[in-house]
Amino acid sequence: MEIVPGNASHQGKRTEQQDSLGFTRFDDRSLIAHGGVVAIIADGMGGFEGGADAGRNAVDAMRLGYEGKPPWESVPEALLRSLGRANRAVCELAGAIGSEGYCGTTLAAAAIHQDQLYWITVGDSRLYLLRAGRLACLSEDHTKKLELEEQVREGLITTEEMHQDPERESLVSWLGMEALPRICRNETGARLQDGDRLLLCTDGLYRSLSEDRIAALLLQEPQDAAQRLIQTTIDQNVPTQDNVTVIVLGIVDRE
């Protein structure tokens, strides 16, 4: 099974690019044999100090952590350990600039080992799977909306009250917190198929494009798809367009 990567990014209408992305090495045969390859995306939090550095540091720490994976460590364990390293890197940055509790980033990482997909995410950067033309979001947004939905199920508030809460999109879990309240991950691999497309993206994409539009653009070759996703987003000319970054991974079975 071959992985065909693509990626693209744009600053949008923000004054600084605070998104970051990275990959483990595609030519590291030793790591690929027991750990596969990993794609990582991060969105530094613009309302916090050091957002751009937080995103970069988290991606670098996550990548380096995973590249140090020993053969006997499982992929889910390696992702969780590497996420811890990324979180420590952001916390250390916050301490260095005197912004403890006010320096953070989201992060989404996808590992492909043989024909199995594993992921780990914190915040609201997303992982999607496109299969047979149907787009599915595999991650969850760690926003206050999750807590509000729980309150709706418990009968504490109404659905209308949930939708009217002005803080429903506020993050409740991000890298840079001493203890992460929420982590989204799978511990059993999800089997990939020939023709699958994986998309990792920051919220600048899905807050501008519908899932139907995203799915249609993902049908192209990965690098073309990545570039078209970004260009189509920018063409929307949203006045407050956020940074937008995407990684597209195409799955090809050559056998």
Residue-level pLDDT at 255: 64
Q: Are 186 and 119 in contact (CB under 8 A)?
A: yes
pTM: 0.95
Instruction: For residues 105 and 98, give the distance between their C-alpha atoms in angstroms, rounded to a whole number.
Output: 16
Half-sphere exposure of 51 (CA within 13 A, CB side): 14
Q: How far apart are CA 138 and CA 238, in angstroms?
A: 26
Q: Please give the Cα distance from 81 to 150 (Å, whole number).
A: 29
Helices marked H in the chain: 29-35, 51-67, 75-96, 144-153, 159-164, 203-206, 211-217, 222-235
| DSSP-assigned letter for residue 85 | H
Amino acid at 233: T
Domain count, the chain: 1
Residues in the chain with pLDDT < 50? none
Pairing of strands 184-185, 134-137: unpaired
| Tokens 């670098």, residue located | 60
Please tell me the distance from the alpha carbon of residue 235 to that of residue 12, in angstroms, as a whole number.
10
Q: Could you tell me the CATH number of the domain that includes residue 130?
A: 3.60.40.10
What the block records as the tokens of 12 is 């949008």
Q: What is the pLDDT of residue 1?
A: 81
pLDDT at 48: 66
Per the listing, tokens 């890197």 go with 89
The range of the structural domain enclosing residue 223 comes to 4-8+14-252
Strand partners for 63? none
